[in-house]
Structure 1
């Protein structure tokens, strides 16, 4: 039977949620780490270097290869400005999250974070938990579908797509069995390297081939010679532009995982070092490869951009490396989701941090359940791309913007405009709140419109054997 939820203010260590002086901050974390060291299964073991690998393993992903399409919709000027602006806001909001957690060491996941910033409101905790699971499990479904696409492409559709999805799901379950993120961070090194190789091969192939292959408006040269442009082409709809923006913001908003990452670090005060590594790598990969891809593919850009390559061998060679990050990023989201559910099931019992049959049995059962639900999402949703836009609007509006504007207000309540620097940051966080509300309003509308259009046309049947090769 599931245990009742343990809210942050009911923890054994009463650490409070008000601002603390720096000494008490670290003493509080020291107490949590000391308690963790007394457990048989220790979670707070990651160095900042391993945290950096974990962050990069999550962020260096297939979504990078969808940014070329975003540029083809928005054009150079709005596209690059959106990418750079999203990156700047990512750094600012992530640092705000970290500072808030340093003042509130008991926070172990985004649910605790939401509970705390909204005045210890249990409805906020439950809402955050629902959103965490919905976001992560749908993303796991996206990675199951992506894995099936990779296997379809490499094998020339040698098996039913559902079979490929089952294979990816089973592999994901097996790889997700480690309980600590410290172990998962080791996998993330290989994930980042493989995705980097895939991107590099794509750029080489896009540069050396004579012309792109297929775009959304037909096979080259049906839509004329390759061209790039500063602003959206005539006839581009507002819904298309909004979905391109959501595609960019989705890539820059991974903070839903960050509280869990910080909670498993040996020294949470070192998180900015890991964040700096991630931001530097992301700023390069999220802008430069998509820009080069747009230069060579122009209006023929697809999402992912591998699909635009005209030579089948090039497409297979570059897309093959995507299978590793596809699986490992799914493992990261599964681990964070499972920890939330695991805490709800076993609560404070010894099984939660000991090598017991019940503890490992529950962990394995939860992981199997998460991946199976993700598999079902992958099979029944006609266009995961548009559903990612829905995720960006419905979830990232909260977990990428609104939550951190509220956290900033708590951190500096009463002196929001104390000095020029503080005043500027207060205005920036007001803008962050406005962006979150915009994504939640017009952004959500655009995503829903795109999904309605999916269902109005020909859609892929549920559990279809249809060939999904790019």
Structure 2
């Protein structure tokens, strides 16, 4: 939509969130679309991938593949809506800024809080995946809490660079590592097929069982809501759609191939995460390779949570662009606060694995899917001519409205399923996240 008009929205300021001046000591707008694609792959195609094969054990191969493919296309569509909104409103740095434009001051606070909370929860989930990796590699040589602490300490250090450019090459390495993890897992499963395994093309399931199964692929695509934060640091924001195409094409194909191959060789006994279903030596190899991705993903989630608050405090201030004691002090404390919050949630909240599902339902359902439709409807109405513009574009209006409704459905149904699956608390020093 951004290329159809040059008229700004009445509610939009045209100044970019980052002002590039040659004398600035810190420059933010440095990311290429290729590095953005690696950052997004590293963050989204992470531990969520490892739960996908278990989905096939509940609904069968065909329904799972259809759902994963549809969600990949849907996520690409909503990514386009988010990118167009960002290009129409260059001052938008995060969901909170977008909420201010659409819903006013209250919307800004709600969406900002939701973004931070979801990022911290996602970081906690990555810490737990790292704990599983370290426990597997050491044959449970330490209490799980210590492994989470080690993960948190390393992730904090990785999150510290002030700009995403400082993380981009690590993002490329992280994306390679998670892809290699998937390839090695498929090789390990293929060389060690489970004898007498049961494989189903389709399985009859209740609504509850079916939706519980598809929550894994639904939330495996979650993360595009951080596009605003990432695109804000691009040299050419108009190239962001190229990164989105790379992300969703790779994620969709990789998810389908990975989940089908592991399910075919392991069958209905496949665990979540799937690496636990491999022979011990292959589990150690794959977890060892994936460990770097878990660390980076926890770091990037903490970084983006801290960045939202930091920009809120110092937008257009010299502390944003200079190496000042206050700027670095606040930035370090924000990164530390994010990772400490993730650590506390992971080790001190007995039902954290269930809270992750609830948080994903409440926030990711809207941020990745539903609210993108509201962005399109807002800009079409305000930029292109009110209700007449909406009537002139019936297909776009129908799709955007359906996206809002889909986000609402995923939010309500996902929250219900997540609450219903709650069982007993985890034992101390024996964390077993989903």
| TM > 0.5 fold call | yes
Change (3 A) 1:42 1:113: same
Alignment of 1:195-234 (within 5 A): 195-211=178-194, 225-233=196-204
| CA distance in structure 1 between the aligned counterparts of 2:211 and 2:431, rounded to whole angstroms | 29
| Partner Cα distance (2:52, 2:30) in 1 | 35
Cα distance in 2 between the residues matched to 1:441 and 1:304: 25
* Residue 168 (structure 2) aligns with: 185
Q: Tell me, which stretches of 5 or more residues in structure 1 are unaligned?
A: 1-17, 213-224
Q: TM-score, normalised by structure 2?
A: 0.91
User: What does residue 257 of structure 1 align with?
Assistant: 226
* Gap change, CA 1:186 and 1:330, over 3 Å in 2: same
Report deviation, 1:237.
4.8
Q: Which residue of 2 aligns with 1:61?
A: 46
Give the CA deviation at 1:238: 3.5
Shift of 1:42: 1.2
Q: 1:38 to 1:99 in 2, by over 3 A?
A: farther
Which stretch shows the higher mean deviation, 66-75 or 347-356? Answer: 347-356
CA contact (8 A) 1:36 1:44 kept: no
Distance change in 2, residues 1:467/1:57 (3 Å): closer
CA RMSD of aligned residues (A): 2.4
CA distance in 1, matches of 2:361, 2:43: 20
Does residue 306 of structure 1 match 2:275? yes
C-alpha distance in 2, partners of 1:334/1:266? 23
Shift in CA distance, 399/34, structure 1 to aligned 2, threshold 3 Å: closer
Which residue is 2:367 aligned to? 399
* Match of residue 8 from structure 1: none
- Cα offset for 1:307? 1.0
Change (3 A) 1:38 1:467: same
Could you say what secondary structure the match of 1:460 adopts? coil
Partner Cα distance (2:365, 2:38) in 1: 26
The offset of 1:389, in angstroms, is 2.5
* Contact 1:156 1:469 survives alignment (8 Å): no
| 2:224 aligned counterpart, secondary structure | coil
Kindly indicate whether residue 90 of structure 2 is the aligned counterpart of residue 105 of structure 1. yes
Q: 2-side partners of 1:369 and 1:423: how far apart?
A: 46
Tell me the alpha carbon deviations over residues 406-456 of structure 1, each in whole angstroms, 9 at most, x when there is no partner: 1111232332342xxx433332222212211111222211111112xx23x
- Do residues 389 (structure 1) and 357 (structure 2) align? yes
Taking the TM superposition and a 5 Å limit, the aligned residue runs for 1:67-466 are 67-118=52-103, 121-211=104-194, 225-233=196-204, 236-309=205-278, 311-382=279-350, 384-413=352-381, 414=387, 415-418=389-392, 422-451=393-422, 454-455=423-424, 459-461=425-427, 464-466=428-430
TM-score, with normalisation over the residues of structure 1? 0.85
Q: Distance in 1 between the 2:282 and 2:351 partners?
A: 25
Residue 363 of structure 1, CA deviation: 0.8
Count of equivalent residues: 424
Distance across 2 between alignment mates of 1:128 and 1:251: 21
CA deviation profile, 1:73-107 (whole Å, cap 9, x unmatched):
12123212211111111111110111111111111
Structure 2 CA distance, aligned partners of 1:446 and 1:32? 39
Worse overlay, 387-396 or 66-75? 387-396
